[in-house]
Amino acid sequence: MPTAANHLEQSLAELTAFLGSSTPQAWVTEALKQQDILLIDHAHCEKKAASTAMQLMFRYPEKSTLLTKMSRLAREELIHFDQVLRLMQERGVTYGHLPASRYAAGLHKMVRTHEPVKLMDTLIIGAFVEARSCERFAALIPFLDTELKAFYRSLLKSEARHYQDYLNLALAEATGPKGPGETAFWQRVEAFRGKETELINTPDKQFRFHSGLPTVASGAVDGE
């Protein structure tokens, strides 16, 4: 019978295949140098993920499955946000404002403006963001201290599930009565995959949790 570890390993392999590319080692090296920025931006990512889920719930109240999935996701992301803040406080890291990275903006530029493909595109982006988050946790874990390693390992299962939830919701939207169909869905996934791969494999002036190849150190953090 497969163990929980084997199941998680399989999930990680699936989402890495979905992404189509692994995190460059240069990003991992920079992350280890800038662990304060990593934690601050991680907290921002969790907060933004919860906000995105809530926005979808308000925007599409007629979609019961989406409401159920996003409600659970928002709660989990806020719990993770609290956990990151607690970890930062223990380490003397001050939470503050960080300028947004190019990653999410670069992906959202591709979102079409008419329904139902607007929702489908938005959900596909959610799948890529969650998949990349999970993949980066896994990439960092071998190099972290015991406490941070255990924390990031504890997040792998939920992040992998979030990626699947977003992807399944996007596919359901594509194959619904007014959707563009499964072939068009996978074509959009491929298009977003190409853009996502570009964003994490090209030089990036800012270091962030979802940034590309590091070129210079990121600036100071402003208090919120």
How many domains does the chain divide into? 1
How confident is the model over 100-149, as pLDDT tens digits? Answer: 889 999 999 999 999 999 999 999 999 999 999 999 999 999 999 999 99
77, part of any domain: yes
Q: Quick one: tokens of 40? A: 């601050």
pLDDT category of residue 216 using cuts at 50, 70 and 90: low
168, part of any domain: yes
Q: State residue 12's pLDDT score.
A: 80
224, part of any domain: no
14, part of any domain: no
The structure's pTM equals: 0.93
Q: State residue 224's pLDDT score.
A: 43
95, part of any domain: yes
| 184: number of Cβ within 10 Å | 14
For residue 5, with 0-12 CB atoms within 10 Å meaning exposed, 13-18 middle and 19 or more buried, which class applies?
exposed
Residue 107 belongs to a domain with what CATH number? 1.20.1260.10
Q: State residue 69's pLDDT score.
A: 97
Range with the lowest mean pLDDT among 90-104, 147-161, 206-220?
206-220
4, part of any domain: no
Residue in the block written with tokens 């792998």 = 156
The average confidence (pLDDT) of the chain is: 92
For residue 180, with 0-12 CB atoms within 10 Å meaning exposed, 13-18 middle and 19 or more buried, which class applies?
middle
Is the Cα torsion angle 197, 199, 200, 201 positive or negative in sign? positive
Q: State residue 100's pLDDT score.
A: 84
Phi, psi of 206 (to 5 degrees): -105, 135
127, part of any domain: yes
Containing structural domain, residue 146 = 23-216
What SS3 state is found at 204? strand
16, part of any domain: no
How confident is the model over 50-98, as pLDDT tens digits? Answer: 999 999 999 999 999 999 999 999 999 999 999 999 999 999 999 999 9
